[in-house]
Amino acid sequence: MKKFAETPFLPTEVEIEAISDNEAKISAYPFEDGFAITLAHPLRRLLLSSSVGYAPIAVKIEGASHEFDSLRGMLEDIAIFVINLKNIKFKINGDKEQVIVEYSFNGPREIKGEDLINSDVEIVSKDAHLATINSDCNLTFSVIIQRGIGYMPSEDIRDIVGTDYIPIDAFFTPVKKVVYDIEKMLVEDNPNFEKAVFTIQTNGQISPITAFKEAVSVMYAQMSVFNKVFDLSEVTVSESGEEPVELKELVIKIDDLNLSARSFNSLDRAGLKFLGELVLMSEVEVKNIKNLGKKSYDEIAEKLESLGYPVENTLPENVASALRRKLEQLKA
């Protein structure tokens, strides 16, 4: 007997495919038609706007007073030096929100990102070029590295740092690219289901998986504003990796139901091993189990009734679909 749906179908599966250290695919399914894009679009926006990263926000260079200055013995003007510094991807070690790191280099040499690694910061873009200095040059500078999200222009940073520092446009976002695809999929012979597939690429400051987890956390936090007006305490989501309580009950083995030997043997000969297999059957299907007499049927129907699964009822479609997949795994 078909049952009217009271809630949208809940997706039950998540797959993660690591393409490289900085790129991954994350798939979630199955969604009812139209629900996948409803979730995917805001998650993409959050990935690009709310992922926490690191950026140099200001630099103080000994012998240079502003970004249009030049330094004797350095090939690059200060403006080019600042642009090169902005393109180097730092990562603060530990939980600090801001660090000031100091450097001093004597020429002749080329200075790259890997030369800036120390106990306070890691450098993701180790091969990035910073400057080339001659033998008569000593390049001494300090950089303020900040943790943050999004973008902050140098005009706003100028009021935060000291006057002896040159402010730098801060691009914190560690996510370089996010695309999503909505793929059609078949669920229980129904083609009107979808899979959301995210492809996420980061600059190496954080992993794609971490970025995705942060975006989901931000979405939850933003939605919590409605708790001020609506009581959403009863809305629960099972923890990742845990089976819903109802599903756990339905994978109880039939030999744990304390049925009579006659009833158990009839079900066993029919290949039925789990309670969920009985619950998924219609009343007619249960009655038509081979060699199942009326007394045995009545006993089974009474047992199902006592467990909260009357033989004449059917499970919600989302629970039934998840149960079928679970039973396939158990019987594989």
Q: What pLDDT score does 3 carry?
A: 56
Tokens of 48: 């690009």
The verdict on 135 and 165 lying in the same domain is: yes
Neighbours of 147 (CB within 10 A): 18
The verdict on 152 and 98 lying in the same domain is: yes
What range defines the domain where residue 278 resides? 245-331
The verdict on 44 and 181 lying in the same domain is: yes
At 155, which CATH number?
A: 2.170.120.12
Q: What pLDDT score does 325 carry?
A: 79
Token pair 């080339």: residue? 132
Report the pLDDT averaged over residues 204-232: 86
Residue 18 CA: distances (Å) to CA of 15, 24, 93, 207, 328: 10, 4, 24, 10, 26
Q: What pLDDT score does 329 carry?
A: 78
The verdict on 95 and 158 lying in the same domain is: yes
Report the pLDDT averaged over residues 47-52: 93
Residue 108 lies in a domain: yes
What are the phi and psi torsion angles at 32 (to 5°)? -65, 155
Residue 21 lies in a domain: yes
Q: Which residue, 149, 170, 191, sits at the end of a domain?
A: 170
The verdict on 19 and 92 lying in the same domain is: no
Q: Express each pLDDT in 8-41 by its tens digit.
A: 778 888 999 999 999 999 999 999 999 999 999 9
What are the phi and psi torsion angles at 41 (to 5°)? -65, -50
Q: Which residue, 152, 170, 188, sits at the end of a domain?
A: 170
Q: What's the pTM value of the predicted model, to 2 decimals?
A: 0.68
The verdict on 92 and 145 lying in the same domain is: yes
Report the pLDDT averaged over residues 252-256: 88
**H/E element holding 210?**
helix 208-223
The verdict on 274 and 290 lying in the same domain is: yes
Residue 189 lies in a domain: yes
Token pair 């973008």: residue? 151
The answer to whether residue 88 scores a pLDDT higher than 60 is: yes
The verdict on 59 and 137 lying in the same domain is: yes
Q: Which residue, 170, 188, 209, sits at the end of a domain?
A: 170
The verdict on 35 and 84 lying in the same domain is: no
The verdict on 58 and 161 lying in the same domain is: yes
Domains in the chain, number: 3
Report the pLDDT averaged over residues 109-136: 96
The answer to whether residue 233 scores a pLDDT higher than 70 is: no
Residue 208 lies in a domain: yes
Contact of 90 with 98, CB cutoff 8 Å: no
Residue 85 lies in a domain: yes
Residue 87 lies in a domain: yes
The verdict on 84 and 164 lying in the same domain is: yes
DSSP-assigned letters across all residues of 291-314: T--HHHHHHHHHHHHHTT--TT--
At 34, which CATH number?
A: 3.30.1360.10
The verdict on 249 and 312 lying in the same domain is: yes
Residue 239 lies in a domain: no
At 307, which CATH number?
A: 1.10.150.20
Residue 5 lies in a domain: no
Report the pLDDT averaged over residues 311-328: 77
